[in-house]
Amino acid sequence: MTAGTAAGDAQAMPKGRDLYVVLGALMLAMLLAALDQTIVSTALPTIVSELGGLNHLAWVVTAYLLAATASTPLWGKLGDQYGRKRLFQTSIVVFLVGSALCGLSRDMAELIVFRALQGLGGGGLMVLVVAIVGDVVPPRERGRYQGLFGAVFGVSSVCGPLLGGWFVDNLSWRWVFYINLPIGILALLVTAAVLPATGERERHRIDYLGALLIVGWAVGLVLVATWGGTQYDWLSAPIIGLAVGSVVLIGVWVLVERRAAEPIMPPRLFADRVFSLGSAISFAVGFAMFGALTFLPILLQVVHGVSPTVSGLYLLPMMLGMLASSIGSGQLITRFGRYKIFPVVGTPIIALALYLCSRLDENASTLSMSLRFALLGFGLGMVMQVLVIAVQNAVSYRDLGAATSGVTFFRQIGGSFGVAVFGSIFSNRLAAHIEELARVLPPGFDPAAVQSNPQLLDRFPAEVQRGVLHAYSLSIDAVFFWAVPVAGVAFVLTWFLREVPLRATLQAHDYGEGFGAAPTVRSSRHEMERALSELMRKDVEARRLYERLGAHAGVALPAGSVWALCRIAKDGTVPGPDLAERAGVPIEHGRPYVDRLVDAGYVLRREGTLAITGSGQAVAERLFAARREGLCRLVDGWEPEQHPELADVLTRLAEASVGDEADGVILRPESEPGNPRA
C-alpha cells in the first residue's frame, strides 16, 4: 500500500463525530426498513376494517415482502456500479414516497400497490446500508459496527408490533406509515451532508430479466394460494391458468439464469444438497413466522378484545424468545462448532407451538397465550440463523455470497406464501362459520366492522357475541393447525442436512440473519470481508498479536516497534507527534520503540518526521505477509490461490489490520505500572 493510497483512504473515511453521525443515519435507515416488516401487523385489523377487502389482507404484507425480495440484488449491484451514496439516497426517497402514499391510501388496492413501492425502496435500504458500512469503517472495526446493525433487527422485531398498536390507538393507522417521513428525511439530510462518495466501482451485467421473472412466478403462485377456493374454485380456469403460467415462468427463469453473466440465483446452487435443503427449511420457517405475525393480532384484538397497543405487548414474548434463542444458539455454535442440532430441535418446537396456538380459544388466559408465543419465537430463533451458517459452510467460495442471499430470499418467499395461504384459510373458514351462524345473526351483519371495532358486538345479544367470537377463534385456529404440517416437513428435512466441521470464518455470526431480516445481497468478497473483520475484532490482545507477527516473520523487535514500523510503512512518512497520537500515548513513551527502528536502519528521523527506509519497507512487507498467512488459515478450504478476488481481500485486510489505531498498551513503557508485561 503506498503512502498516497493510505492517505487518500484516511481522508475519505469519516472519523470521530462524523463517523458516528454517518452510522447513526445508516441505522435509522435500516430501522425504517426493518420496522416495516412488523409494525403493520397490529394495525392490519383496523386497516382492513376501514378500507375493506378482508380477502386481500395478506397482500398488505406480501406486496412489501415480494418487492423487497426481488429488488434487493438489483440495488446491490447498481450500488457497486454507480456509487452507493447516490443509490442509497434514491432508495430512501422511493421508500418515503411509498410510505406517504400508503398513508394516503383510499382503498385496499391502492394500499397494496403503494406497499410494493415501499418494499422496492426498503430492499435498497437493507442491502446498501450493509455495503456502506464496509466503505466508511476500517476493516478491523467493521465487525463491531456491523454487529450493531444486526441488533437493529432485534429492536425492530420487539418494538414493531408495539409501535404499530400504539399508533392505531392514539393517532391513526396511517401514522404507521407517516412516522417514516421525519425519520427518513433526517437520514437523507445527514447522509447527504456527511456521507462520502467512497467505495470501489465495479462493472456488473445486471440480471434485470431474472429479477422480473422472479416477480412474475412468485406473484402468480401467491395469487393461486390467495384466490384458490375463495374467489375461484381450485379447478377453475383462472387458477389453473395462473398455476400453469407460473410453472412456465419458473422454467424460463431457470434457462435465463443459466445463461446470465451474473445471475441473481445461480442454478448450480440447487445441485448442492445442503443449499436445497436449507432453502426448503428456510421457506417453511418464513411461512410460519410471517403467518403468525399477520394473524395473531386478529386473534388478540377481535377474539380477546384487547387494544392494538396491548396486542403488541402480547407479542413481546414471541420476539423475546426469538432474540434469546438466536443469540444463545450463536454463542453455543461458536463454542462447540456444532450447528445441526439447533434446526433439528427448533423445527419440532415450532410445530408444537403452532399446534398449541391452534388450541387457543376466546377463553385462553394471558399466561397461556404468552407461553405459546414465547415457545414459537424460541423455535424460530433456533433455526433461522443456523440455516445461513449451514449453507455457507457447504458451498464453494465463488457461491458464498449468492448462497447467503439465497437462504434469506427463500425465507421471504416463504413468508409471502405463508401470509397468502393463511389468509385464504382464514377467509374461507370465517365465511363458513359466519354462514352457520346466519340463523342467529341480524340482517346485514358485517364481520369486517366487528374486526375494526369489537365493541360493536356489545349491541347484540350474548348468544350472537359468543357465536361471532367463536367463529373468529375457530378460523384462526385453522390457520395455525394447517401450518403444523409445514413445520413437520421442515423437521424431516433437517435430518438430511449434512454437518461438516465448521470453518473458522463462520464463527463470526451475522445476527441480523437471525431476526427475520429482509434478504441482503453481499458478494462472496463482501461476505468474507464481514466474517474476517469480525474475527479480527475478536483477535487476541494487541500486544500479543504484534509479538506473534514479529516472531513469525523473524523480526527481533518488541511489539511496540513492530506496530510503529507497520504504521510508518503504510504512511511512508509521518510526524512523530502524529504517530504518538495514533498510538494513544505521550510522545516520550513511544520514543524508545521508534529509536529501535532508527538504530536498525528501518526508519529515518529528520526534524521530527519519521520516514521508512528501503530495508524498513522490506521488513514491513514480511510482517504484512505473516499477517496474511494467519488470515489464510482462517479461510482454509476456500483456496485463495484459485480465487484472485479472495487473495486480494486477504492482502488488503492483512495490511489494513496491522499498524492501525493502537490502544495505548502496545507502546506503553514495559516498566510502567499497569502494563501486563511490567
DSSP conformation letters of 461-475 = -HHHHHHHHHHHHHH
**Euclidean distance between CA atoms 470 and 449, whole angstroms:** 16
CA dist list (Å): 410 to 283, 285, 318: 5, 9, 22
Q: CB-side exposure of 17: number of CA atoms within 13 Å?
A: 0
What strands, in cross-sheet order, belong to the sheet with 609-612?
573-575, 609-612, 603-606
Eight-class DSSP state of 528: H
Q: Which pLDDT value is given to residue 533? A: 62
Choose the weakest-confidence range: 342-351, 422-431, 560-569, 593-602. 422-431
Residue 101 has pLDDT above 90, yes or no: yes
pLDDT digits (tens, 9 = 90+) for 519-533: 455 555 566 666 666
Output the CA angle 279-401-218, nearest 5 degrees.
45
Q: Where are the beta strands (DSSP E) in 517-581?
A: 573-575
Lowest mean pLDDT among 41-50, 55-64, 150-159: 150-159
Average pLDDT, the chain: 76
Does the pLDDT at position 434 exceed 80?
Answer: no
Backbone dihedral angles phi then psi of residue 413, each to the nearest 5 degrees: -60, -40
Contact (Cβ atoms closer than 8 angstroms) between residue 299 and residue 314? no
d(CA 244, CA 224): 10
Longest dimension (CA), the chain: 101
Quickly count helices (H) and strands (E) in the chain: 26, 3
> Does 268 have pLDDT greater than 70?
yes
pLDDT computed for residue 675 by the predictor: 37
Q: What was the pLDDT predicted at 413? A: 79
Q: Which of 66-80, 238-252, 453-467 has the lowest mean pLDDT?
A: 453-467
Q: Take residue 480 and report the three cell numbers written for it.
A: 395455525
- Phi, psi angles (nearest 5°) of residue 611: -130, 140
- pTM strictly above 0.95: no
The residue to which cell 490482545 is assigned: 541
pLDDT at 286 over 90: no
Q: Pseudo-torsion of CA 64, 69, 73, 75, nearest 10°?
A: 10
In this prediction, residue 7 has a pLDDT band, given cuts at 50, 70 and 90, of very low
* Band (67; pLDDT cuts 50, 70, 90): confident
Of 108, 112, 59, nearest to 222 (Cα)?
59
Walk me through the domains of the chain, giving residue ranges and CATH numbers: 14-196 (1.20.1250.20), 208-261 (no CATH), 271-515 (1.20.1250.20), 538-667 (1.10.10.10)
Percent of the chain with pLDDT over 90: 5
52: left (phi over 0), alpha (psi -120 to 50) or beta: left
The answer, yes or no, to whether residue 176 has pLDDT greater than 80, is yes
As given in the structure block, the three cell numbers for residue 544 are: 500479543
Residue 65, burial from CB neighbour count under 10 angstroms (0-12, 13-18, 19+): buried
Q: Residue 128: in which H helix or E strand, if any?
A: helix 108-136
What are 137-167's pLDDT values in tens digits? 665 565 566 666 666 766 776 677 778 888 8
| Winning range, highest mean pLDDT, from 135-149, 260-274, 643-657 | 260-274
- 65/63 Cα distance (integer angstroms): 6
Pairing outcome for strands 573-575 and 609-612: antiparallel
* Nearest of 198, 249, 206, 192 to residue 224 by alpha carbon: 249
Question: For the chain, what percentages of helix, strand and coil (3-state, to nearest 5) are there?
Answer: 75, 0, 20
Per-residue pLDDT, 338? 81
Mean pLDDT, range 643-648, rounded to an integer: 68
pLDDT of 583 reads 73
Q: Reply yes or no on whether the pLDDT at 125 is more than 70.
A: yes
Residue among 222, 287, 308, 366 at smallest CA distance from 49: 308
- 248 pLDDT higher than 90: yes
d(CA 405, CA 127): 10
Beta bridge partners of 574: 610
Residue 13: per-residue pLDDT? 56
Cα separation of 50 and 43, whole Å?
11
pLDDT at 97 over 90: yes
Decide if 474 contacts 435 (C-beta within 8 A). Answer: no
Lowest mean per-residue pLDDT among 254-258, 292-296, 507-511: 507-511
Residue 660 reports pLDDT greater than 80: no
Q: Taking the alpha carbons of 79, 523, 415, 379 in that order, is the dihedral positive or negative?
A: negative
Task: Count CA atoms within 13 Å of residue 334 on its CB side.
Answer: 17
In this prediction, residue 93 carries a pLDDT of 92
Tens of pLDDT along 453-488? Answer: 556 666 677 777 777 778 888 888 888 888 889 889
| 261 CB-side CA count, 13 A | 6
Q: What is the pLDDT of residue 446?
A: 64
Cα separations in angstroms, 161 against 158, 211, 358, 428, 489 = 7, 31, 21, 26, 29
Report, as an integer, the average pLDDT of 419-448. Answer: 72
Mean pLDDT value across residues 336-356: 88
- In the prediction, which pLDDT does 356 show? 92
Residue 166 carries which side chain, given as an amino acid letter? W
Unique residue bearing C-alpha cell 469519516: 14
Specify the range with the lowest mean pLDDT, choosing from 103-112, 564-573, 625-634: 625-634
